[in-house]
Structure 1
């Protein structure tokens, strides 16, 4: 890590958190990744509750990164590349608001960068349909159960990506 830098957090929802966590875990400059839930009203939600679609939470990955080693803009690029941001409340066969495409920003700078990145992505011509990604303030991050943490890494790789 760079000297005299403080670590920052970024939080992304892009479908099943197993795949998303694996994508961000591999990025140089990312210090840690945690699977969890954000954006709902239920405190201390369980996986079963989130999957029941009654909590309002999205499956997310909280990324702790060293901004001297990797930029937030680079993390946004990873986010856009690891899912289809034009699918409303789903990714592939995973359906529900808990699988929504969402960027939870932790600062005004992150909000500005996320909105500019979304505009750039929409104008890029990479997507035939409009992007439906939400950009909202970060809320309480609820840590997912231990068996979800580094799920694909524990199982020797693979993917749950469709």
Structure 2
């Protein structure tokens, strides 16, 4: 969803399982300028969908050891309209961060929950939000959050057919269910 020129705006990268539903949900937030599907967190540069799927298959068969990319969304936003903490709240609420390498029917390290930051302030806020949400989850009987929080590396934009996928294919699959646990308000 490219709604305007957004190259000078801040962005954060989230992995929430399949990027199709994540892209749709976060693009609906007021103040979000752009949401782009992509790949990040793996060891290779300029990853493609076929490479990510191929590596995941090789990992499952014990034929590879390197870190695979996660399907992610790059969320570019207007900080005067929406805060990073608000985006993090939507991130936590819109998927189940306790499932490890899966969301819904999608299973594999490429579907892991992740927050990829670029600055120390983003890192600190990501960790603080995880602590806060973990407390809310535990109060509702959920287990430990497995979300990877790491510095952004090797981001690449996904192929064009993945961009705005659910907008182009309204009946397309979205495995995001969330936990039903609200992010605590301060």
Q: TM-score scaled by structure 2?
A: 0.80
Describe the SS at the equivalent of 2:11. Answer: strand
Cα separation, partners in 2 of 1:91 and 1:114, compared to 1, 3 Å: same
What is the aligned partner in structure 1 of residue 183 from structure 2?
none
1:87 partnered with 2:99: yes
Describe the SS at the equivalent of 2:72. Answer: strand
Cα separation, partners in 2 of 1:25 and 1:85, compared to 1, 3 Å: same
What is the aligned partner in structure 2 of residue 3 from structure 1?
none
Quote the offset at 1:7 in angstroms.
Answer: 1.3
Describe the SS at the equivalent of 1:44. Answer: coil
What is the aligned partner in structure 2 of residue 142 from structure 1?
156
What is the aligned partner in structure 1 of residue 14 from structure 2?
12
Quote the offset at 1:62 in angstroms.
Answer: 0.2
1:77 partnered with 2:89: yes
Quote the offset at 1:44 in angstroms.
Answer: 1.6
In 2, distance between residues paired with 1:95 and 1:7?
33
- 5+ residue gaps in structure 2? 1-7, 59-66, 177-186
The counterpart of 1:113, out of the listed 88, 110, 125, is 125
The counterpart of 1:132, out of the listed 141, 146, 150, is 146
Query: What's the C-alpha RMSD, in Å, of the aligned pairs?
Result: 1.5
- 5+ residue gaps in structure 1? 1-5
Contact 1:86 1:127 in 2 (8 A): no
Cα separation, partners in 2 of 1:43 and 1:90, compared to 1, 3 Å: same
Deviations 1:30-76 (A, max 9, x none): 00010000011122211111122156100000011010000000000
Describe the SS at the equivalent of 1:7. Answer: coil
What is the aligned partner in structure 1 of residue 40 from structure 2?
38
Q: TM-score scaled by structure 1?
A: 0.91
List structure 1 runs of 4+ shifted beyond 6 angstroms: none
Q: Which moved more, 1:71-80 or 1:46-55?
A: 46-55
In 2, distance between residues paired with 1:40 and 1:31?
26
Quote the offset at 1:155 in angstroms.
Answer: 1.9
Quote the offset at 1:126 in angstroms.
Answer: 4.0
Quote the offset at 1:99 in angstroms.
Answer: 0.3
| Higher gyration radius (CA) | 2
Deviations 1:115-135 (A, max 9, x none): 000000111124511111111
Cα separation, partners in 2 of 1:157 and 1:148, compared to 1, 3 Å: same
